[in-house]
Structure 1
Amino acid sequence: MNRRRFLRHALAGASALALAPAWLRAQAGRNGPAEFTEGLRAHPWLAGWKSVGGESFGPSTAQIEGRLPKALAGTYYRNGPAWYERAGLRYEHWFDGDGMLHAWQLGEAGISHRARMVATSKFRREQRAGRFVVPAVGSRIEGAESIRNNDDMNTANTSVLCLANRVFALWEGGSAIELSADDLATIGPVAWRDDLAAAPFSAHPLRDDDGSIWNFGSLDMLGGTGLLIWHLDRQGRLLTTATLKDEQHGYLHSFAMTARHLVFVLTPYRMIEGKAFFERLRFAADLPCRIAVVAKDALDAPRWFDADFGKVYHFADAFEHGREIVVRAARHGNPSAARSPFSAAMRGEVADSDDPVDLVELRIDLASGTARWVETGIRGTEFPTFDARADKPGRSRIYAPIRHGLALAPYPNAIAAIDVRRGRMAVHRYGDEIMAEEHVFVPKPGSRRAGQGWLLGTLLDPVRGRSGLAVLDAERVDAGPLAMAWLPYAFPLGFHGAFSQQA
């Protein structure tokens, strides 16, 4: 097939990249900063959703409590939405904020931090205009101007990919945006191949044992159905792509991977008229999830399974045991609330979460062709991470922020190391006032046994107005941090990060 015709064939029956699908043509929002500011005065923890006031910060030296391990050296990159307000208007959806990339530099000299807005075409356009002019996925924008493709509204606000000394800010609906690893200056979008410019490259790529990268892009983001599968080598060169077709609309934010297979769980949904994408979207709890199991050496021969409805944003580990694939996931209990997490906080209002999240297992029986969800009894976990080096199936510990004991905010205030197989959990509670974000696992240099490493996790202390970084021994989480580093200022909560051992 002619490469330049690839997307036209992949999206047969869907909108072309140069056309704006209906979900990009959102209308006006009514939320304002004044209401949020009023709520913030009464509830300091709403600082987790406060807009930043500048395009860049630092470099700043963090104040360290405890002792940083000598062998831990490199940069921890974090990404998340940070710019929520313009010209008296405020986004209504957490996923809409423009991305800010953070770099925590760790080494013998201590810990330093810098942060910079990702200068996407959307962000630059709205900086020039001084107001919101680009459609958003969750908020209605009055008088939104036309766009050419997905990258015109790419916020680059979700995750980070470190690949061959290069750094990319990721969003689920468009291109990876490359930034300078040194000063976080934006270089621009990366197509991986010319005819794939602006094609969705999701925010959750997975790294294989050989260093290569697997990822997907949802064709629903282009008005179609199905997936685009990506495979890059360890240097960032495109090895292959494939399309995965399905007639049912299915939403997915991430995927899972075993040694031999990729696993995609598509949550069914329907669309109603009006408003922005996430307000028009209705997860269809009366329909089954469609599950594609794709052998890495046979991308064109997926096996499809159905399971009872379940809404998952993030997966933990996955493994094969005989003829069964087991995937661990954070499953949301309230599909309606999952469309717009912490929507009350975005408005400056206080509301306890009405979206319980359980750690569950999806068990896919390759012999019988069936799939089912199995409860683990573990509650309240999101943003799970793990060490993939387990020597036996199912032995990986899962690390996840949780809410433990009294907490000032309806948000995690602790980090847990979870042994699902034994039903055990080791917890460190940061305190009533601290808001704990995702913690990533970093292997100790030269180590081989699973769990030998550190956890790096960012924190928000809204009462003292500061953001921080915690370093814990992954094998002794309940012993508390080896070191904590605090900045003299605070940032809004982010989503995902990645550690690069290049100092």
Structure 2
Amino acid sequence: MLAICLHLFLEPFITIKPILTPLSHFLCCPLLHILTPPVGEVTISTTKYTFKPHAVYTFVLDISLSSSNNGQTFSIKRLHLRRAPPLAASRWLPERTRPEVSSRERCPRASGLESLLPLVSSVEETPEPIPTTIKGTIPAWINGSFLRNGPGKFEFGDDRYNHWFDGMALMHRFHICQGSVTYCSRFLRSDSYVNNSEKNRIMISEFGTSAMPDPCKNFLERFLSRFQLPKATDNANVNFVKYKGDYYVSTETNYMRRVDPQSLETKEKVDWSQYIAINSATAHPHYDHEGASYNMGSSYGRSGYFYNIIRVPPPTTATEDSADLTGAEVICSIPAAQSRKPSYFHSFVMSENYIVFVEQPIKLDLLRFMLYKIQGKPFQKIMTWEPRCDVIFHLVDKHTGQESEVKYRAAPMFTLHQINAFEDNGFLVMDMCCGDDGEIIGDFTLENLRRESVQEMDEFYNSLCRNLPRRYVLPLNVDEQTPLDQNLVTLSYCKATATKTKPGEVYVTHEELHGDELLQYGGLEFPQINYNKHNGKPYRYFYACGFGHVFADSLLKMDVRTKELKVWRYPGLYPSEPVFVASPKAAEEDDGVVLSVIITPRKEKSTFLLVLDAKTFTELGRAEVPVNIPCGTHGVFNEMG
């Protein structure tokens, strides 16, 4: 008699992971003929076995071996089934839950895509407000400014930036009042912009471009400069953010710039590290209903690498015209799973009572950092996509700063932008835009985006990952009494699952938050909701950009209950991130308008501000402005004007 242990994982069909012995390898093939039905009940001889999804089992077989002229034969005399130790579940689960078909393969391949060169070319600023031409009707109740940010200058002298993220920040303001609209724009007078302009060359390194040593220095000075830590950029070209009532523009370093939201004048530079011990912060803070701001920042030192949750208190009655982040505090520090390879993050999840940090497989290889600095390679090159690593959701109580002892794991994916999160009957529901290939961030080089050949543009677009909306659900009440190997999610409207695989660990799978119709629009990104009323609360609608081209070529409204879409799309028109503005007497979640800036590569100076009815998703009006605007990043609506 001989006992052979075979690890068996059941998702979605029963397969066998053989232990490294020749005999188990020999047994594997015959057993597969017996054990290939779906998860459920399996009958072998007269004994019935019940298999649970997302579980790992050990089979102990008593066998008899004999030899004959026809080769080895065996017979199973007894089969004993028991659940394997929890460690085995953790070991095999991630491999079996990776998507068999990527999001790129699920979406139709594109052909005949036009060049986007004019949308990633430098433009001039328009510092003084100019009028626009109104077509249709701009609702008279809209009073305020639509502020947008993004790269607008891609070269200085003979020096050229390499990546779209590198361009100098250009701020835009569409001021809307009583049905009329004016437009102005200004370059952020960051240290990077000023120094580059004075020297007429790239002086400060950006995400995808390393600044070359100053040619005015001697050989030794240029050589030694390779060993100096690079100076962080203050080229805040990602978003407009708000702290204590003041507007700032932000990127992902430790620097922000305070700005005047009406004149777009650049004010003082703010260094996060002068207030709290962090080395960087995201450009996507969250705001609670009391006026406090929350953000995520990283820090590193002798004790390791940490992801930090930051809280900035609400504004006070002080009227002094200066930046003020006093009272900012780190409420929780989460150690990186790999201190030498921490995860990149662009945003985070927040509900009414919880913050979730998503530790994802986009890694920053810190060992390469100084080596690449010596070699003159940019920061972008230290980012790696490591799909063998799980995603870890770190759950933190927003009020106490206490991190849950439970680690929530999921199959590898990457996310840049969250849609919304809310709590429901002991569960945290998280909706986010996700992709299955994190290398896409490095793909947005200017060389790729400026391809003029139709064939080359088609090839580039068809190689890109498509991001799709997903829903994950975290059970909040997991303890020692919580059973193993069964789905803990009991929400009737959710298909997402959560399974306790061992003490202190829960494995979650997502629900696709869309129907097949979305695939023809190339997936979606840049999600927005009715933030003031529904952030951190149950909601029904979100708005986003569809990506049938490298840049967004449609606007989408998604109903998360029915997964139905409403679409605005016209050939040759490329919209910006949609921003929802609620009407003054709104009774329903989608009572209001959606604002988006529309640009085109087909005609010079043909930009317009689009105003859609948020409920019907039909055009109400547009404000045409005779300027060129490059493709941008994020924006906000400032009700104060």
TM-score tier by shorter-chain length is 0.7 to 0.9
The 8 Å contact of residues 330 and 357 in structure 1, kept in 2 or not, is answered as yes
Query: What's 1:126 paired with?
Result: 196
Query: 1:221 & 1:93 partners in 2: Cα distance?
Result: 29
1:81–1:98: 8 Å Cα contact kept in structure 2?
yes
Residue number in structure 1 paired with 2:610: 470
Contact 2:395 2:403 in 1 (8 A): no
Gaps spanning 5+ residues in structure 1: where? 1-41
Letter in 2 for 1:229: I
Q: Is 253-262 or 134-143 further displaced after alignment?
A: 134-143
Counterpart selection for 1:207 from 287, 296, 307: 287
Shift in Å, 1:193: 7.7
Q: 1:372 aligns with which of 502, 509, 514?
A: 509
Residue number among 579, 604, 619 corresponding to 1:440 in the alignment: 579
Shift of 1:382: 0.4
| Contact 2:351 2:536 (C-alpha < 8 Å) held by counterparts | no
Q: Give the paired residue count.
A: 454
Q: Are positions 1:245 and 2:335 aligned together?
A: yes
Q: Which amino acid aligns with 1:426?
A: K
Distance in 1 separating the partners of 2:437 and 2:535: 35
What secondary structure, in the 3-state scheme, does the structure 1 residue paired with 2:443 have?
Answer: coil
The 1:99–1:107 alpha-carbon spacing in structure 2 relative to 1, beyond 3 Å, is: same
CA distance in 2, matches of 1:345, 1:226: 34
In the alignment, what sits opposite 2:117? 46
> Within 1, Cα distance between the matches of 2:134 and 2:281?
37
Which is worse superposed, 410-419 or 371-380? 371-380
Distance, in Å, in 2 between the alignment partners of 1:197 and 1:220 is: 9
| Per-residue CA distance 1:334-373 (angstroms, 9 max, x = gap) | 2222333365444545332522111111222332442333
Q: Which structure has the larger Rg over C-alpha atoms?
A: 2
SS at match of 2:305: coil
Superposition pairs of residues 37-436 of structure 1, within 5 angstroms: 45-52=116-123, 54-108=124-178, 110-143=180-213, 152-163=232-243, 166-191=246-271, 194-196=274-276, 199-219=279-299, 225-235=305-315, 237=325, 238-242=327-331, 243-248=333-338, 249-268=342-361, 269=363, 271=365, 272=368, 274=372, 275-303=377-405, 304-341=407-444, 344-349=447-452, 350=457, 351-353=460-462, 354-366=464-476, 367=478, 368=500, 369-370=505-506, 371-377=508-514, 378-379=518-519, 380-388=523-531, 389-390=533-534, 394-403=538-547, 409-429=549-569, 431-436=570-575
Structure 1 partner of 2:27: none
Structure 2 distance, partners of 1:327, 1:150, is 37
Which residue identity lines up with residue 284 of structure 2 in the other structure?
Answer: H
Q: 1:109 to 1:444 in 2, by over 3 A?
A: closer
Further displaced range: 365-374 or 258-267: 365-374
**Which amino acid in structure 1 is aligned with residue 422 of structure 2?**
F
Task: Tell me by how many angstroms 1:185 deviates.
Answer: 1.3
Alpha carbons of structure 1 residues 247 and 455: separation in structure 2 relative to 1, 3 Å = same
SS in 2 for 1:384: strand
Instruction: Give 1:12's aligned residue.
Output: none
How many angstroms does 1:255 deviate by? 0.8
The answer on whether the counterparts of 2:244 and 2:313 sit within 8 Å (CA) in structure 1 is: no
| Distance (whole Å) between structure 1 residues aligned to residue 536 and residue 132 of structure 2 | 39
Residues 205 and 150 from structure 1, CA distance in 2 versus in 1: closer, same or farther, beyond 3 angstroms? farther
Give the structure-2-normalised TM-score: 0.66
What are structure 2's unaligned runs of at least 5 residues?
1-112, 215-221, 316-323, 479-499
What is the deviation of 1:138?
Answer: 1.4
Aligned residue for 2:308, secondary structure, equals strand
The letter of the residue matching 2:474 is I
Deviation, 1:152, is 4.3
Give 1:139 deviation, angstroms: 2.1
TM-score under structure 1 length normalisation: 0.83
Secondary structure of the equivalent of 1:491?
coil
Work out the percentage of aligned pairs sharing the same amino acid: 22
C-alpha displacement of 1:76: 1.0
> Structure 1 stretch 219-228 or stretch 301-310: which is displaced more?
219-228
Letter in 1 for 2:412: F
The alignment status of 1:484 with 2:622, answered yes or no, reads yes
Larger RCO, structures 1/2 (Cα 8 Å, 6+ apart): 1
Letter in 1 for 2:399: D
| Contact 2:171-2:186 at 8 Å conserved across structures | yes
Which shows bigger deviation, 60-69 or 367-376? Answer: 367-376
Which runs of structure 1 show a deviation greater than 4 angstroms over 4 or more consecutive aligned residues? 144-152, 220-224, 390-394
**Structure 1 CA distance, aligned partners of 2:525 and 2:471?**
14
Contact persistence 1:333–1:358 (CA under 8 A): no
Counterpart position of 1:29: none
